[in-house]
Amino acid sequence: MRSRVLTVALLGLAAVALLAPATGTAAKKGKKKDPKVTVMTRNLYLGADLGPAISAPDLPSAFDAAGEILNSVDATDFPARAKLLAKEIAKAKPDLLGIQEAAIWKDQTPSDLGAPPLGVGTPATNVRYDFLKLLQDELKDRGAKYKVASLQTEFSAELPANTDGNDATGPLGADMDGSLTMQDAILVRKDGKVKTSKPKSGNFETRYEPEVGGIVVPVDRGWESVEAKIKGGKKTRSAKFRFVNTHLEAFGDPAIREAQARELFAKGGPLKTKDQVVFVGDINSGGPKDKIGPGYTTPGDEGAYNALVDDAGLFNLGTRQTCCYADVFESVIGDYRFDHTVDHVMSKPKLKQLDAYVTGDDPTVTGPGGVVASDHGGLVSKLRLKK
């Protein structure tokens, strides 16, 4: 009897032992992880400082400034910089990439005194540089294929330009006309896990409107968004989120960029949603740990950042100082420092950041003539999405 009881007990324990692993394995099999996504924000640098033209007191001065600007664009050599930028992006492998200052430069020779509102002639048609196309071509050459998921055209203007410094060349010294069209874009990796749909974009109602040679020029800025989806698999859940990219105003009163930031989460803005959001961009505004004051940023520049974090409820996923090289095309970059923050990755709700780093922050990595990739660094962030 005692032997029989012992045998039954042992058989019972064996049955439990056999069942336990099976149950545990089933539970483990059923548990899926939230998916990861890598995002990047990259300001390409339009190639010149527009300040001299913006501050020109009269049209002849504006023409001289336009000549300086076009010469600077040639010197900063975007075809060479595109190779450096493509190398950064190909290495980082972002699933989604927010691009700012994807400039299109056009020219016309001889000058017919430009196109309205600053000129009286016909629009320039010869494409001197198309930054987005050049970048995509370089990415393709490296096997990193990215397509445009959303694109927004922004500031556009044309000026007669005195590029040779000779006032006797051409009408009023202008030997050619130069045109700039600014674009921002969202790029998605073609062979990646993220699929996008419903692209949207828009311009801000609040604008910087300087007088160039006595003529008011409205400076359009804007935003782009896509609905992004990662399909689930055996080990990961699916996830949906809205990806938003923007470039807030760099010039003028800091109140302009704060107002633009507020438009992003006002009615009809891309951040006005209950959906999961990943937000990237150059907002020309830093957080509370950023350096504020002379030599760094203008007091008041924190307004746009505070609006997005305090009022829109976005979470800053770790401030990284990405700005700025003093001069992008000097062989030896003087006054080198990345000492303030304008480029950001934020989310709502708060997402777990698995990794984050800055690209383009080594001034010894240069192209022909000593050019660095951009006056900014890029910001890469790997995130764990929520279901």
The token duo for 348 is 């709502």
How much is the mean pLDDT over the chain? 88
For the chain, the distance separating the N- and C-terminal CA atoms, rounded to the nearest angstrom, is: 57
Tokens at 161, concatenated: 């330009």
List CB contacts of 45: < 8 A, sequence separation 6 or more. Answer: 76, 81, 101, 328, 374, 375, 376
Specify if 249 maps to a domain: yes
Closest to 44 measured CA to CA, from 106, 146, 132: 132
For residue 56, the number of C-alpha atoms closer than 13 Å in the C-beta half-sphere is 26
Structural domain of 109: 33-384
More confident residue, 124 or 29: 124
Burial class (CB within 10 angstroms; exposed 0-12, middle 13-18, buried 19+) of 79: middle
Q: Which secondary structure element, helix H or strand E, spans residue 197, and what is its range?
A: strand 194-203
In a domain, 13, yes or no: no
Would you say residue 139 lies in a domain? Answer: yes
Residue 5 covered by a domain: no
- pTM more than 0.95: no
Q: Distance between CA atoms of 375 and 367, rounded to whole angstroms?
A: 14
The domain tally of the chain equals 1
Does residue 202 belong to any structural domain of this protein? yes
The Cα–Cα gap between 179 and 162 comes to 13
DSSP assigned state of 34 = P
Is the residue at 55 inside a domain? yes
Residue-wise pLDDT tens digits, 298-355: 777 889 999 999 999 999 997 788 888 865 555 444 456 687 889 999 999 999 999 9
Neighbours of 125 (CB within 10 A): 9
**Domain of residue 165, CATH code:** 3.60.10.10
Q: Check pLDDT > 70 for residue 16.
A: no
pLDDT greater at residue 331 or residue 47: 47
Question: Could you give the CA distance from residue 216 to residue 83 in angstroms, rounded to a whole number?
Answer: 37
Structure tokens at 135: 């970048």
Tell me the per-residue pLDDT of 132-170, one tens digit each, with 9 for 90 and over.
999 999 999 999 999 999 999 999 999 999 999 898 888
Residue 220 has pLDDT above 80, yes or no: yes
- 10 inside domain: no
Asked whether 171 and 80 are in contact (CB, 8 A), the reply is no
Task: Compute the distance between CA of residue 67 and CA of residue 45 in angstroms, rounded to an integer.
Answer: 18
Residue type for position 240: K
**3-state SS class at 207:** coil
The two three-digit tokens of residue 61, written as one number: 């001065």
In a domain, 24, yes or no: no
Q: Which of 213, 205, 219, 78 is nearest to 157 (CA)?
A: 219
